[in-house]
Amino acid sequence: MIRPMTLRTERLVLDLLGCAKGIDDRVLAGASEEARHEWRAFLGRLPTAADLLRGVVGSAEDELERTLEKVIRFRAILSDARSQL
């Protein structure tokens, strides 16, 4: 379902994209192949900068919040794993 972009939605999308951008190949190096595959598939489902420009998004704000929390947690897990190497 396509939803109009609100200021809160825009902030969530920008935060989500920023966090996702921080999880690059260097960060993913310590992850399993399955986790890297799942991450690449996940990236394909994220809202895009083009969505922001169009002013629409396919996710509700609560879904974006949960997704952002998961990305932050995933990044923290990967960072912890890297620091233990």
Q: What is the DSSP letter of 60?
A: -
Rounded to whole angstroms, the Cα distance separating 59 from 6 reads 12
Q: Which sign does the torsion angle of CA 60, 38, 45, 83 carry? A: positive
Q: Which two tokens stand for residue 61?
A: 């704000």
Res 26: pLDDT: 86
Report the run of H or E that residue 8 belongs to, with start and end. Answer: helix 7-21
Asked if pLDDT for residue 83 goes beyond 80, the answer is no
Domain boundaries along the sequence of the chain:
3-83
Please determine, for residue 85, whether its predicted confidence score (pLDDT) is greater than 80.
no
pLDDT tens-digit readout, 1-60? 788 889 999 999 999 999 999 898 888 988 889 989 999 999 988 888 888 889 999 889
Other beta carbons within 10 angstroms of residue 82's beta carbon come to 14
**pTM score of the predicted model:** 0.83
pLDDT confidence of residue 49: 81
**Residue 1: predicted pLDDT:** 79
